[in-house]
Amino acid sequence: MSQRQRYRRRPDRPVVAVRLLLDTEGFDYRKWGDQQHCKPGDWLVDSDGDIYTVDAATFERTYRSVGKGTYVKSTPVWAEASEKAGSVSTQEGRTHFAAGDFLVSNNEEGTDSYAIEAKKFHALYERDD
């Protein structure tokens, strides 16, 4: 793997999100090549048509509201391009990735991780030196 570097989500790339505050046990869905699970209180996110869920505590810590139902990721991430295909455990399940995709972490020490294809990563994030 290459060395992780610090990035910020581009401020002009907000998401639309709704918190799942219903009397439910959550739900399962397939995405990123595996089974995912949305827990009660998690957030249902629409990022330019890419629909997924985000853990409640992670969303509250890393996003800020910029309008009714609209949020921007306000904290940095640490990321590196993968040298080979693999998978990473996330808070929702497991994400499979290809060589060249980016492994991203919400925490500098590498925890709270996920993967994004390289083209999408570069469209959403910029270096934060």
pLDDT range class, residue 1, cuts 50, 70, 90: very low
Q: What is the pLDDT of residues 78-106, one digit of tens each?
A: 999 999 999 999 999 999 999 999 999 99
Q: Average model confidence (pLDDT) for the chain?
A: 95
Indicate if the alpha-carbon torsion angle 52, 121, 96, 114 is positive or negative. negative
Q: What is the pLDDT of residues 19-78, one digit of tens each?
A: 999 999 999 999 999 999 999 999 999 999 999 999 999 999 999 999 999 999 999 999
Distance CA 116, CA 98 (A): 9
Distance CA 22, CA 40 (A): 7
How high is the pLDDT of residue 129? 83
Instruction: Please give the model's pTM, rounded to 2 decimal places.
Output: 0.89
